[in-house]
Amino acid sequence: VLARPAGPPELAVAAEAAAAGAREAADLKQQGNSFFSKGQYNDAVAAYSLALSFFDDGVLYSNRSECYLKLQKHLEAKLDAQKAVGLAGEEGNKKASWRLGRACLLLGELGQAAEAAQVGLARFPGDV
């Protein structure tokens, strides 16, 4: 049995709800990954979207971006990749950076694609 955190009961309830949401998001992420590996990209998008309703996470946005690329929904892919890159902060997200560049290229936004590539190369020089 886990001990409840000290403090007002409302805080303990909120902490328990947050933990349950994080577990649900992790389960949904795994479902999304499974759908993706089977080529069921629409189902993967749905699973990642539900997970994002519990937890705002760059990896989830990046994974959903890749699904959108597979589905040729390039604008959606770009928006999710931008969100993932933004959430990654200073350490960056290699996959999201790559997906952002690909989405911009596929949208014909060559300047933005080049910028994404330059940022990715600067941040991850050993991964060329």
**Within-domain flag for 1:** no
How many other C-beta atoms lie within 10 A of the C-beta of residue 57?
19
Residue 64 lies in a domain: yes
Of the pLDDT bands very low, low, confident and very high (cuts 50, 70, 90), residue 89 is confident
pLDDT value at position 6?
Answer: 58
| Spatial distance between the Cα atoms of 23 and 105, rounded to a whole number of angstroms | 36
- pLDDT tens, 53-88? 998 999 999 999 999 999 999 999 999 999 999 999
For the chain, list the strands marked E by DSSP.
none
Q: How many separate domains does the chain show?
A: 1
Please give the structure tokens belonging to residue 14.
Answer: 């909120």
Task: Please tell me the predicted confidence (pLDDT) of residue 3.
Answer: 55
Residue 2, domain member (yes or no): no
Domain that holds residue 121: 9-127
pLDDT band, very low/low/confident/very high, at 21 (cuts 50, 70, 90): confident
* 99 part of a folded domain: yes
For 113, which DSSP code? H
Task: With respect to residue 54, please indicate whether it lies within any of the assigned structural domains.
Answer: yes
- For residue 57, being part of any structural domain is answered with yes
Do the domain assignments include residue 29? yes
Nearest to 93 by CA among 44, 51, 127: 127
12 and 5 in contact (C-beta within 8 Å)? yes
Q: Tell me, yes or no, whether 93 lies in a domain.
A: yes
CATH of the domain at 63: 1.25.40.10
